[in-house]
Amino acid sequence: MNTLRHTAIFAAAVLVSTPVAPAFATTIDDDENIVELDLYTLTDVHGHIEQVTNSDGVVTEAGGPAMSCYLQNAREQNPDSTLWLVGDQIGASPFMPGLLHENPTIEVMNALEPAGSTLGNHELDWGVDDLRDRINGADPYVAPNFEHVAANVAGAEDIIGDYVVWTAPASEVRVAFIGGIGQDVPAKLNPVHTADLTFNEPVEAMNKTARQLKEHDEADIVIAAMHDDVARYFPHMDTDYVDGVMGGDIHVPYLFQQGEDGNEISAIASGQYMDGLGLMSLEYDTEANEVVDSSVEIIPADTVAECGEDEEVQAILDRANEQAAEAGNQVVASGITDDFHRGVYLNEAGELLAGANRGVESTLGALLADSFKNEIVVDQESGETVDIGVMHAGGIRNDLEPTDGDVTYSQSFEVQPFGNEVGYTTLSGAAFKKVLEQQWKLHDATDEEKAAAGLPEDQWNSQGSRPMLKLNLSDNVRYTYDPTRAYGDRITSVTVDGQPLDPEAKYTIGSVTFLLDGGDSFYSFQEGTPTTTYGNLDRDTTNAYLAEHAANIEARSLKKSI
Q: Give the integer Cα–Cα distance in Å for 544 and 61.
A: 32
The pLDDT of residue 562 is 96
The per-residue pLDDT for 262 is 54
Contacts of 518 (CB under 8 A, 6+ apart): 187, 191, 524, 525, 526
Provide the edge-to-edge strand list for the sheet that holds 491-496.
477-481, 491-496, 499-500
Q: In this structure, how many other beta carbons lie within 10 angstroms of the beta carbon of residue 311?
A: 11
pLDDT at residue 30, as a whole number: 53
DSSP string over 225-244 = EEES-HHHHGGGS-TTT--E
3-state secondary structure of 315: helix
Q: What is the dihedral of CA 270, 273, 275, 279, to 10 degrees?
A: 30
Nearest-5° angle of CA 421, CA 426, CA 429? 130
Predicted confidence at residue 26, as pLDDT, reads 39
Question: What mean pLDDT comes out for the span 468-479?
Answer: 97
Q: Is the pLDDT of residue 260 over 60?
A: no
How far is Cα of residue 430 from the mean position of the Cα atoms in its chain?
32
pLDDT at 1: 29
Listed range (344-353, 357-366, 477-486) with the worst mean pLDDT: 344-353
Q: What's the distance, CA 395 to chain centroid?
A: 11
Q: Among the listed ranges 171-180, 236-245, 345-354, 371-380, which one has the minimum average pLDDT value?
A: 345-354
Residue 258's pLDDT is 63
Higher pLDDT pick, 1 / 218:
218
User: Residue 11: pLDDT above 60?
Assistant: no
| Lowest-confidence region among 12-16, 222-226, 440-444 | 12-16
Whether residue 294 has pLDDT greater than 80: yes
Beta strands in 435-518 (DSSP E): 471-473, 477-481, 491-496, 499-500, 506-512
- Categorize the per-residue pLDDT at 367 as very low, low, confident or very high, splitting at 50, 70 and 90: very high
pLDDT: is 218 or 460 the higher one? 218
Residue 15 pLDDT > 60: no
According to the model, what pLDDT value does residue 358 have?
93
Q: Can you tell me the distance from the alpha carbon of 289 to that of 215, in angstroms, rounded to the nearest whole number?
A: 13
**pLDDT, averaged across the chain:** 91
Whether pLDDT at 20 is above 70: no
Summarize pLDDT for 103-152 with one digit per residue, the tens. 999 999 999 999 999 999 999 988 999 999 999 999 999 999 999 999 99
* Calpha distance 258→297 (Å, rounded): 14
Query: Regarding beta strands 421-428 and 506-512, do their DSSP bridges make them parallel or antiparallel, or are they unpaired?
Result: antiparallel
Q: How far apart are CA 82 and CA 209, in angstroms?
A: 21
372 neighbors 386 (Cβ within 8 angstroms): yes
In this prediction, residues 344-360 reach a mean pLDDT of: 86
Residue 452's φ and ψ, nearest 5 degrees, are -65, -30
Q: What is the pLDDT of residue 14?
A: 38
Q: What percent of the chain has pLDDT over 90?
A: 77
Encoded amino acid at 558, one letter: L
336 three-state secondary structure: coil
Cα–Cα distance for residue pair 198/194, rounded to 1 Å: 8
| 158-171: pLDDT as tens digits | 999 999 999 999 99
- Residues 437-442 have a mean pLDDT of 92
CA distances from 232 to 11, 235, 267, 361, 448 (A): 14, 7, 11, 26, 21
Residue 263 has pLDDT above 70, yes or no: no
Mark 161-195 as b/e (b = at least 16 C-beta within 10 Å): bbbbbbebeebebbbbbbbbbbbbbbbbbbbebbe
Per-residue pLDDT, 190: 76
Choose among 419, 447, 403: nearest CA to 537: 419
Higher pLDDT, 306 or 28: 306
Give the 3-state secondary structure of residue 513. helix
The contacts of residue 119 (CB under 8 Å, 6+ apart) are 87, 148, 149, 150, 153, 160, 179, 181, 227
Can you give the pLDDT at residue 17?
A: 36
Q: Is residue 545 pLDDT above 90, yes or no? A: yes
The values of phi and psi at residue 86, to 5°, are -110, 35
Give per-residue pLDDT as tens, 117-127: 999 999 998 89
